[in-house]
Amino acid sequence: MQNIIVAFASQTDAGNFKSILMRGGFEPAYVCTSGAQVLSAMENLGSGVIVCGYRLGDMLYNELAENMSEYFSMLLIASPSKTDEAVFPENIIYLPTPLKKNDLISTLELMVEGVTKRRKKIKEKHRFRSAEDQKVIDSAKALLMDRHKMTEPEAHRYLQKCSMDSGTSLLETAEMIISLG
């Protein structure tokens, strides 16, 4: 998965960077000239890397970075004079111009790999429940088993079905059942 957004104020610059990336083995998903276009593209992709210049049609790189999701990283390409002593957050990598093609490609490869790893790590974190959350779910199952004479697997399936039907998490559904019980 190489969700790459190329974003430069000039359509010519954006097209040139797209060509360079394509020759380097990348297929940019979007080419944008404004921050609004990038924000829209980010929503569609979910995660990836934004390769951009210092200024876009409607905002600077730092304004765009403030609105980036945790699943995105930014590769800022700008002249050293524009970024004098700027301190960049962890999700922004800066490459000064003039730029070598090999530096661009190798940096982008590392960034794409990093975004993929970060997304997996965040997903893993959400997959495991805390002990307190599991206690709440177990209490809701016990309540269902006691009141409605369900087995543990039946109570669990009932919680899952209610969760899916209502569009809430299993924990929220369990909390609702306990509050109603």
Reported confidence tier of residue 118, pLDDT bands at 50, 70, 90: confident
Tokens of 162: 């209610």
SS3 letters for the chain? Answer: CCCEEEECCCHHHHHHHHHHHHHCCCCCCEEECCHHHHHHHHHHHCCEEEEEECECCCCEHHHHHHCCCCCEEEEEEECCCCCCCCCCCCCEEEEECCCCHHHHHHHHHHHHHHHHHHHHHHHHHHHCCCHHHHHHHHHHHHHHHHHHCCCHHHHHHHHHHHHHHHCCCHHHHHHHHHHHC
* Mean per-residue pLDDT, 117-142: 82
Percent of the chain residues past pLDDT 90, beyond the cut:
67
Cα torsion 25, 97, 61, 90: sign: positive
Q: Does the pLDDT value for residue 115 go beyond 70?
A: yes
Question: pTM above the 0.85 mark?
Answer: no
- Of the two residues 1 and 130, the one the predictor is more confident about is 130
For residue range 54-85, what is the model confidence (pLDDT) as tens digits?
Answer: 999 999 999 999 999 888 999 999 999 988 77
Tokens of 92: 């922004």
* Mean per-residue pLDDT, 98-122: 90
For residue range 134-172, what is the model confidence (pLDDT) as tens digits?
Answer: 999 999 999 999 999 999 999 999 999 888 887 778 888
Tokens of 115: 């975004």
CB atoms within 10 A of CB 101: 11
pLDDT at 69: 84
For residue range 37-52, what is the model confidence (pLDDT) as tens digits?
Answer: 999 999 888 889 999 9
